[in-house]
Structure 1
Amino acid sequence: MKPGHAIGSLRHRLAQLCGAPHDPDPGSLSHSERLRCAGAGLVGGLLFDATTLGLRHITGAPSFPEDTSDLLVPFLPAATFNSLLSALGPHGKELLVVGALTGAVIAVVLLGTLYGGLVWRGWRPGRLATVLGVVGFIGLWALFGPVLDANDAGGTLLRRRAIGAGTLALDVIVSVGAVYLLVGRPRSREGGAGPEVPDRRAFLAALGGLGGGLLLGTGGLVAGFRSLAGATNLDYEGRWSSAASPITPIDQHYVVSKNLVDPSVNVDTWRLQVDGLVRSPVTLTLDDLRRLPQRQEIVTLECISNSVGGGLMSTARWRGPRLAEVIGLAGAVDQRARFAIVSAVDGYFDSLPIDAALSSSTVVALTMNEVTLPDRHGFPARIVFPGHYGEKSMKWLARIEVAEHDHLGFYQRQGWSEDAGVRTWSRFDAIGSGRPLRAGHPAILRGHAFAGTRGIESVQVSTDGGTTWGEADLDAAISPYAWRFFTSHWTPSHPGTYVLVVRAVDGAGALQEERREDSPPRGSSGFHSVTAQVV
């Protein structure tokens, strides 16, 4: 058989599978028919959105906007991501939600128009709707499959993926089903040909179906959107917070998340899998982790997006078993192991060098400041990896895979640093007592510095824009892994404008970098400076 004939035969078979007639009606759709098909698609699209938002709160599986975010965000270059974050702030996630929901509606409107055009030309409605639904699900599953392992409730990887695929299938069934019901049967013609026979009853039924569907879809969408908006964390929390005390209260601790809605894990279904290059893979419960020896560390965490002088840095008491002991429950680690690939219930993933994972300082935190780990900070378990930016201290831990080869992390796909070791950083927190500075009167300059596990050896302050420097007094270190506060006493000699600058020297004797760099790709650098007016 010639290639052209083979292709034609295959096309004919596919058309028959979809319910194509042997003698299709060559007529074109009337204006009212086009509107009816588009209206059916609009209802189907609204119901798709309402279903995906509703199922998100029933099953814990991410909604369509969240899947879209997880699919696209890792491939935004780090500099572009940071620029959008700075420009849009909380509106970035709002635009993503609205854009994804609107895109879904437009897609189903186009589907409804295509479906209606084929049905009213004689294609078999049931078979065509079934094929379009199956093809639509397969297409969406192929596109979003890599991000369908997220689920708020937790559970094993297989369970999370099954629920994600199931909710996606229901989204498609509801939307395609609405189109199928509202488009209706092919138009009737006297004698099988000629002009369309008016059917007032069918017209009114279709009009009522479209109106009812629009009402149901819009109402469901509004309710689902309100529910989503009520749980959504649109912006980073603590961006401009002050460091008032060595240990940050939980309600003041900075929060950064990739999610539109953070997980609220069901501890009864949550499981932590430890597998890969270990002797005996194991699945653990929270009680299993609590039975291990508990270790407390005071650790400062900093977001890699923290700017010079920013507030995305906090310190807490973290308590839980060492990560090495958790991995040890799976038996001996194979000598080929080089990395621990870690993933979370929200679909986040990253990796740690195996030596770091087995270090005594890396813990799986179960409590924060001596209370059960809050939802926003990773309940029921998170990794705390001292000396590295917060992207490495994964929240809502779900799996640890010991592996020979690295796995590029969620943010590393954007181009952020793979090592993510913190850079030396310092900041003024308070200039004076809050009252106007007066010439000849002493003022106290307070602030903090941080250099990860390297520690802080000294802090230097300049009151003349960096021309001369003086040593500040350091508070006692509260932990090898925490920030350090400083105090500098200054008496301005005369009224005027002063530029105050601070810099730090880490425990290895290296001076903080002066050159200004934005956060991407390895964290910000540069001296923090403030302008002080003296009267």
Structure 2
Amino acid sequence: MRTRLVPAGFGVLSALVGVAAGHLVAALTEPSASPVLAVGSQVIDLTPTPVKEWAIAQFGTHDKAILVGSVLAGVLVLAAVAGVLAARRFLYGAALLGVLVAVPALLATDVLPSLVAGAAGIGALWSLTRTRQAGGGGRRGVLLAGGLAVGALAMGGAGRWITSYRSRVVEIDLPAAADPAPPFPTGLDDRVPGISSFRTPTSDFYRVDTRLALPIVDADGWTLTIDGDVEQEVSFTLDELLAMPLVERDITLTCVSNEVGGQYIGAARWLGVRLTDLLEQAGIGSTSADQILSTDVDGMTISTPLAVATDGRDAMIAVGMNGRSLTPEHGFPARMVVPGLYGFVSACKWITRMTLTTYAEQDAYWTERDWATDAPIKISSRIDTPKPLATVDAGRTVIGGVAWAQHQMGVAKVEVRIDGGAWQQARLGPSAGDDYWRQWYLPWTAEPGQHTLAVRTVDGEDDVQTAVRATPFPEGSSGVQEIVVNVA
């Protein structure tokens, strides 16, 4: 058994050296070309939608880390086999490592990190195998293995630091809005413990996308191009966008993957250029286009219904979030924001191109995967406090949370049901506009025992949040959140 474990360990160590070397080179060039990330990105693209939704529901924001870990684990298992093969005949083991390198080389936009990974991994395997075969398996072999392990750690750590440094927040001086938002009201944050913040801090704002590595965008070289079925193609630099009249709006964004009562929703103050101001410069009056096909800096595409984006709502190309420039996680230097639509058809981050076209001519990433083309955000609500299955003290307490009816004349009422009884009207926090969520709370005298709590929203047109359950695919979840709590 030991005769196989040692060569297998050599294979694993060699693979780690290769992965670390490739990661370091990718950090200096294109982080997404790191071999493991390149394979992971392809896995995301090929994964069936139900599996993706299951992963998001089960693992939340940890789904990417679990995917990368799974890919790396698979690589290390095959690398162990390569080590065993190399002990018999080195060319066999080197060939298997070569195959492992060839896959990300074919998938990545930059082959250099994979080539370096292959050279480093095969070189390490050759050194370890030759040393052992030459009878140097004692002190010399231990020193060699230790040196390679330290080298792998050093290269991996350096790669992580360089990537973090290159993707750091770059602050841009944002001009004042020509059309500012009204003064932001004081929410219920301090009055109802456990309720969601009325304005979501940028650091807490949800992030759902297909990226395993954040794009690194040079603001000075970035441009936004509008082309396709327009009168003239136009391009804007970031400075040109910032010189245009900017609008400031309080808008809630929601991910279509959000389950009923889920966390993939956030509310922020956005600063940007009206989408219609940009489209008018390209000329869209006589076109036959019915969609805006947005493309980000790495080629990801998102389709937005043209009629919805230009119907008078506060759709914009945002450059600021909560009073500061966008962070890399949220689309620096610019992103699309369209209130009332789920993000997968409206919120292209790191945007660099908008093509006016038709749904019949071009499919975006999500429409190719049979998601809806027109996806208005459904009326919904969430209980923040108490938490599901929590134990609370008997006596006077509160039930509280947030509700939203984006671009539906806003939230008019929130109703709470306790133990299947009559719906009781909750008290609403202040309004920051129809495109923004509202906090709510209901005083409750909690009696000992187990209790079931439910919540629903009524919008300004008296439409009641539906109780019909639906999964996120293909146009967003629906249903009434119901939780169980214990009172002691």
TM-score > 0.5, shorter chain as reference: yes
Q: Offset of 1:324 from its aligned partner? A: 3.2
CA separation of 1:48/1:518 partners in 2, compared to 1, >3 Å: closer, same or farther? same
| Distance change >3 Å, CA 292–CA 213, structure 1 → 2 | farther
- Tell me if structure 2 keeps the 8 A contact 1:456–1:504: no
Structure 1 match to 2:293: 341
Residue aligning to 1:270: 222
Amino acid at match of 1:57: A
The one-character-per-residue Cα deviations of 1:384-426 (angstroms, maximum 9, x if unpaired) are 1211223331222233233334654445555544433211111
CA spacing shift, 1:284–1:259, aligned 2, 3 Å = same
User: CA 1:448 to 1:100, structure 2 compared with 1: closer, same or farther past 3 Å?
Assistant: closer
Contact residue 410 and residue 434 of structure 2 kept, 8 A: no
CA displacement 1:175-225 (0-9 Å, x = unmatched): 4566788889xxxxxxxxxxxxxxx99947999998787555533433454
Contact 2:27 2:160 in 1 (8 A): no
Q: Which of 325, 334, 337 is the matching residue for 1:372?
A: 325
Which among 427, 432, 435 is matched to residue 382 of structure 2?
427
Q: Percent of aligned pairs with the same residue?
A: 28
Superposition TM-score, scaled by structure 1 size: 0.68
**AA partner of residue 453 (structure 1):** H
Higher strand proportion, which one?
2
Q: Deviations over 1:15-70 (max 9, x none)?
A: xxxxxxxxxxxxxxxxx9x9999898666533431222112321233112222222
Point out the structure with max Rg over C-alpha. 1
CA distance in 2, matches of 1:533, 1:138: 55
Does residue 1:61 correspond to 2:28, yes or no? no
Does the aligned pair in 1 maintain the 2:36–2:104 contact within 8 Å? no
CA contact (8 A) 1:243 1:314 kept: no
Q: Which residue of 2 aligns with 1:167?
A: 113
Counterpart in 1 of 2:334? 381
Name structure 2 gaps, 5 residues minimum: 165-192
Aligned to 2:406: 452
Q: Residue 308 in 1 paired to residue 260 in 2?
A: yes
Q: How many Å separate the matches in 2 of 1:274 and 1:84?
A: 35
Cα RMSD between the aligned structures?
4.4
CA-to-aligned-CA distance 1:66-121 (integer Å, 9 cap, x gap) = 22222111332333223233444566434432333344456667778889999989
Distance between the aligned counterparts of 1:410 and 1:345, measured in 2? 14
Given that 1:74 and 1:413 are in contact with CA atoms closer than 8 Å, whether structure 2 keeps it comes out as no
Q: Which among 269, 276, 279 is matched to residue 317 of structure 1? A: 269
* Secondary structure in 2 matching 1:522: coil
Over 3 Å counting, the alpha-carbon distance change for 1:532 and 1:112 in structure 2 is closer
Name the CA shift for 1:288/1:472 in 2 (closer, same or farther; >3 Å). Answer: same
What is the CA–CA distance in structure 2 between the aligned matches of 1:250 and 1:410, rounded to whole Å?
26
2:383 maps to a residue whose letter is: F
Contact 1:389 / 1:420 at 8 angstroms: preserved in 2?
yes
Q: Calculate the TM-score normalised by the size of structure 2.
A: 0.74
Query: Per the alignment, in what secondary structure is the counterpart of residue 452 of structure 1?
Result: coil
Alignment match of 1:49 (pick from 10, 19, 27): 19
C-alpha distance in structure 2 between counterparts of 1:175 and 1:208, whole Å: 22
Q: Give, in whole Å, the separation in 2 of the partners of 1:459 and 1:72.
A: 43
Q: How does 1:245-284 map to 2 (within 5 A)?
A: 245-284=197-236
2:246 counterpart (275, 294, 313): 294
CA contact (8 A) 1:49 1:105 kept: no
Q: Quick one: which amino acid aligns to residue 219 of structure 1?
A: V
Which shows bigger deviation, 525-534 or 292-301? 525-534
Deviations 1:218-264 (A, max 9, x none): 334334545677889xxxxxxxx954443223233333343334345
1:481 — aligned with what? 435
2:124–2:148 CA contact under 8 A, matched in 1: no
**How far off its partner does 1:141 sit?**
4.7
Please state if 1:221 is matched with 2:191.
Answer: no
Q: How many residue pairs get matched?
A: 448
Alpha-carbon distance in structure 1 between the residues aligned to 2:483 and 2:256: 22
**Match of residue 402 from structure 1:** 356
Structure 1 residues 91 and 229: alpha-carbon distance in aligned structure 2, compared to 1, 3 A threshold? farther
Write out aligned runs for 1:150-165 (5 A).
161=109, 164-165=110-111
Distance 2:364 2:211 in 1: 15
Question: Is the 1:321–1:364 Cα contact (8 Å) retained in structure 2?
Answer: yes
What residue in structure 2 maps to residue 158 of structure 1?
A: none
1:129-208 paired onto structure 2 within 5 Å: 140-142=104-106, 144=107, 148=108, 161=109, 164-175=110-121, 203=134
- With over 3 angstroms needed to count, the CA separation of the structure-2 counterparts of 1:504 and 1:345, relative to structure 1, is same
Tell me the secondary structure at the aligned position of residue 407 of structure 2. Answer: helix
